[in-house]
Amino acid sequence: MSATLTATTGSDAVPAKRPDYKVTFGRVVRSEWAKFLSLRSTWITLAVAGLLLVGIGIMGAYRYDPTAMRGPSADAHDAVTIALRSTELAQLALGVLGVLATAGEYTTGLIRSTLAAVPKRLPVLAAKVLVYFGVVIVVATAGAFLSFLGGEPFLHGKAIALTLSSSGVLRCLFGAGLYLALIAVLGAALGMLVRSVAGGISLLVVLLMLLPVFLDILPSSWKPDVSPYLPGLEGGAGGSIIALHQESGTLSPGAGLAVLCAWVVVALAGAAYRLLRSDS
Amino acid sequence: MIEIQHLVKRYGDKTAVDDLHFTVKPGVVTGFLGPNGAGKSTTMRMILGLDAPTSGSVTVNGKRYAQHAAPLQEVGALLEARSIHPGRSAYNHLLALALTHGIPRRRVDEVIELTGLGKVAKKRAGAFSLGMGQRLGIAAALLGDPQTIMLDEPVNGLDPEGVLWIRTLLTNLAEQGRTVFVSSHLMSEMALTATNLVIIGRGRLMADTTVASFIEQAGGDSVKVVSADSARLRELLLGPDVTVTGEAGSETLTVSGLSARQIGQTAADAGIAVFELSPQAVSLEEAFMTLTGDTVEYRSNAGSASQTGAPEGSVAA
């Protein structure tokens, strides 16, 4: 580099001192963090997810009626289920946040700038995963705790009431934060895989919400074998992570987490392959 | 320095770039010319490693782009398509790029100042005009103070002031010893800024030359002279490297190899009355079209009485 410069500026010219720039993984993470902070849409999505998580949880506790045969209270066996029912909606907002993080770069064309700066490519995916996992696990865990604690006074003295010190409660609340953070990462992986916001969101909805419904069409004997291994909440791996009591036929929380992680890893592997191998 | 060796890019059975082979040298502006769809943008994307070549190789300053520790310090590029998130401000866009390399914020402010984006730097880039978007792209290209600057159609959408600014910028960058590689589909624009020329058509190399020799091949500069005694003037003007053409008995001559000033002086010394003396600019655009005419990808024949049609976007000629 400096050789070329000296050659072109003449032999007696002092080669200009070039600043010592270098791409490092830490810097790529800082760049992705700055990108995250500087978009209004990410803040809005994150705020919506937080509000859903807390608002619906507290509302559920407030409206809880043990005598109801129908409605939201009917299948609520414990305070944790009420507090975390909102996970079902929050996962969509946070999954979309993940999709936007990656597919958004393709639909806007920003990916060309990004990959010109980091042509090794994989650090970009890794940094995005790190940033979004980090942000979402903090926001979602806080949301889960606020939802539970905010609903506690309304359930006080009722049969389903629980406190943070009740057995399994902390596991469920932390589990909900972890589940939502993994869903955001899943969204990011799917977005990078299909490179389209609409496609990424569709895929996410299919995986999390439509597959369990689709299983009902198939022979009924299949469902118990397949359902626990789906990533979503409804009878799937995600449900095992955040449920206080495991229903029969579902996985244990640890096994559920392992299954969900496997989904995320497979999606990430696909995303990494596409990122490295296809033109951008 | 950009070295392109036997570069091929195929999309399915369509060949976008077909065995390109040339070197872009430092210290001068090299124009990269071709009709729309000739493969200019694809070539530039391969230089940056955004697209992988089907075969052949591209190196920048001796290495593949992706192998450099600080790529933005090697090549700064403005690509044809917008490469920004419309929701982010110009400043934050540049900052995010700078952070990947550890480029200080001071440098972000510098390039914003340099490209005249100071007033709009905090606004959402999605609201930028085409010209402002181009300036932001150029700011990003200059961010790493790169050895090689590569701009795809930089004058697109710029107002006359902006076009002039680009010309000066390119010339200055080349004078600092940098490699400057600029694509355009307008020969006239390149003739004003570039020294070297790489011309491609339908992905193939048509010419790897200099602007000077391209002009010479195109017929050089000539002067039209209308005088009282064209036969005698012709005799007086003829000499080595001078050609004079004109029909016998006509008052009009076309002279190449001499300036209008020299011709006028000769005529005055000989006492020949001159009625018209006008330098004839060679239409570089025409010469360029002749060269690439067979390779034009998209023709617009509809509604045209002409048999050949005109290449799209070449109205400026």
Q: What is the mean pLDDT of residues A179-186?
A: 98
Residues B149 and B76: their CA atoms lie apart, in Å, by: 5
pLDDT given at position B312: 40
Do residue A280 and residue B65 have CB atoms under 8 angstroms apart? Answer: no
Residues B224 and B247: their CA atoms lie apart, in Å, by: 13
Gap from A30 CA to chain B (nearest CA, Å)? 6
In this complex, which of A108, A112, A118 lies closest to B79 when CB atoms are compared?
A: A112
C-alpha torsion B180→B186→B189→B191, nearest 10:
80
B71 near A CB under 8 A? yes
pLDDT given at position B306: 38
Contact A237, A263 (CB under 8 A): yes
Residue of B nearest to A277 (CA): B52
Distance of CA A31 to the CA centre of its chain: 20
A35 CB neighbours in chain B (<8 A) are 85, 88, 92, 96
Other beta carbons within 10 angstroms of residue B248's beta carbon come to 7
**Per-residue confidence at A225, pLDDT binned at 50, 70, 90?**
confident
Residues B188 and B259: their CA atoms lie apart, in Å, by: 21
Q: Which two structure tokens, joined as six digits, stand for B36?
A: 């729309």
pLDDT given at position A9: 39
Which residues belong to CATH 3.40.50.300 in chain B? 2-216
**Mean per-residue pLDDT of chain A:** 89
Considering the domain B2-216 in this protein, what is its CATH number?
3.40.50.300
Q: Which two structure tokens, joined as six digits, stand for B160?
A: 């006359």
A17 near B CB under 8 A? no
C-alpha torsion B176→B181→B183→B189, nearest 10:
30
Is 50 exceeded by the pLDDT of residue A14? no
Q: What is the mean pLDDT of residues A13-26?
A: 78
Gap from B91 CA to chain A (nearest CA, Å)? 10
Range of weakest confidence among A46-50, A70-74, B208-212, B281-285: A70-74
- The architecture that CATH gives domain B221-280 is 2-Layer Sandwich (3.30)
Return all residues near A15 (Cβ < 8 A) that are at least 6 apart: A2, A5, A6, A9
Do residue B101 and residue A40 have CB atoms under 8 angstroms apart? Answer: no
Do residue B84 and residue A31 have CB atoms under 8 angstroms apart? Answer: no
Which residues belong to CATH 3.30.70.100 in chain B? 221-280
B92 CB neighbours in chain A (<8 A) are 34-35, 38
Using alpha carbons only, give the angle B26, B27, B30 rounded to the nearest 5 degrees: 70
Judge if ipTM > 0.90. no
Range of weakest confidence among A158-162, A233-237, B150-154, B290-294: B290-294
Q: What is the mean pLDDT of residues A58-65?
A: 89
Residues A172 and A168: their CA atoms lie apart, in Å, by: 6
**Per-residue confidence at A263, pLDDT binned at 50, 70, 90?**
very high
In this complex, which of A5, A32, A39 lies closest to B87 when CB atoms are compared?
A: A39
Question: In 3-state terms, what secondary structure has residue A221?
Answer: coil
Gap from B125 CA to chain A (nearest CA, Å)? 11
Question: In 3-state terms, what secondary structure has residue B220?
Answer: coil
Residues A15 and B102: their CA atoms lie apart, in Å, by: 22
Is 50 exceeded by the pLDDT of residue A270? yes
In this complex, which of B1, B92, B103 lies closest to A4 when CB atoms are compared?
A: B1
Residues B48 and A113: their CA atoms lie apart, in Å, by: 10
Do residue B101 and residue A23 have CB atoms under 8 angstroms apart? Answer: yes
Specify the DSSP element, H or E, that contains B310: strand B310-311
> Who wins on pLDDT, B230 or A70?
B230
How many residue pairs from chains A and B have C-beta atoms closer than 8 A?
Answer: 121
Q: What is the mean pLDDT of residues A24-48?
A: 95
Torsion sign over Cα B304, B310, B316, B317: negative
Largest Cα–Cα distance in chain A? Answer: 93
A279 near B CB under 8 A? yes
Contact B171, B190 (CB under 8 A): no
Q: Which two structure tokens, joined as six digits, stand for A7?
A: 């050659």
Q: What is the mean pLDDT of residues A210-220?
A: 85
Contact A66, A73 (CB under 8 A): yes
Q: What is the mean pLDDT of residues A146-159?
A: 91
Gap from B291 CA to chain A (nearest CA, Å)? 31
Contact A117, A23 (CB under 8 A): yes
Question: Per-residue pLDDT for chain B (317 aa), expressed as one digit of tens each?
Answer: 999 999 999 998 899 999 999 999 999 999 999 988 899 999 999 999 999 999 999 999 999 999 999 999 999 999 977 899 999 999 999 999 999 999 999 999 999 999 999 999 999 999 998 889 999 999 999 999 999 999 999 988 788 998 999 999 999 999 999 999 999 988 888 888 999 999 999 899 999 999 888 877 776 678 889 999 988 998 898 888 888 888 878 888 888 888 889 999 999 999 999 999 988 766 677 777 777 766 665 555 444 333 343 344 333 33
